[in-house]
Structure 1
Amino acid sequence: MGLSGRERRILAQIEQALEREDPELARRVAAINRIEAGDGLPQEPYGERLRMWALAHVWVIFAVGALVIVLLLVAVLTT
């Protein structure tokens, strides 16, 4: 169900007030809305940083997993 004309006007007023009071928060909310709408990751400056952050975490998880496996093998082989 869509919003009525009155509800759309109220929402637009809230958005305009947010943009005036906290432009950075307004940009972040807009980026979240684009992601939820299926438009992919937000554009610069957040998009590239978010990709690098995710990639770094994948490598950290992989490295920790490999370390755990190596430590388990060492423990089994030394007993």
Structure 2
Amino acid sequence: MSLSGRERRILAEIERALERDDPELARRVAAINKIEAGGEGFAREPGERLRMWVLRHVWVIFWVGALVIMLLLVAVLTT
């Protein structure tokens, strides 16, 4: 069931009032709406996606390095 034009205008007024009075709550509500609409997820800070990408790659490099060291130790100890 869709909203009437009057109902959409009232909701838009409520949204504007919320953004004006409590921008943090408005940001959170927008993030929830985005998640429910199948969006990308909770709104992130501008550089957070890059930091998470770097962090994941650092962990991968760490574990690959640990594996290489373990394999080298096994090779040295078995000869």
In the alignment, residue 18 of structure 1 is paired with which amino acid? L
Please list the CA deviations of residues 37-67 of structure 1 after superposition, one character each: whole Å capped at 9, or x if unmatched.
Answer: 001212313xx5xxx8xxxxxxxxxxxxxxx
Partner in structure 2 of residue 26 of structure 1: 26
* Uncovered stretches (5+) of structure 1, i.e. residues with no partner: 53-79
* Uncovered stretches (5+) of structure 2, i.e. residues with no partner: 53-79
Q: State how far apart, in whole Å, the 2-side matches of 1:43 and 1:8 are.
A: 24
Please, what TM-score do these two structures have when normalized by structure 2?
Answer: 0.55
TM-align CA RMSD: 1.9
How far has the Cα of 1:25 moved from its partner? 0.3
In the alignment, residue 39 of structure 1 is paired with which amino acid? G
What is the aligned-residue identity percentage? 74
Please, what TM-score do these two structures have when normalized by structure 1?
Answer: 0.55
Partner in structure 1 of residue 7 of structure 2: 7
The structure with more radius of gyration: 2
In the alignment, residue 17 of structure 1 is paired with which amino acid? A
The number of residues matched between the two structures is: 48
Partner in structure 2 of residue 37 of structure 1: 37
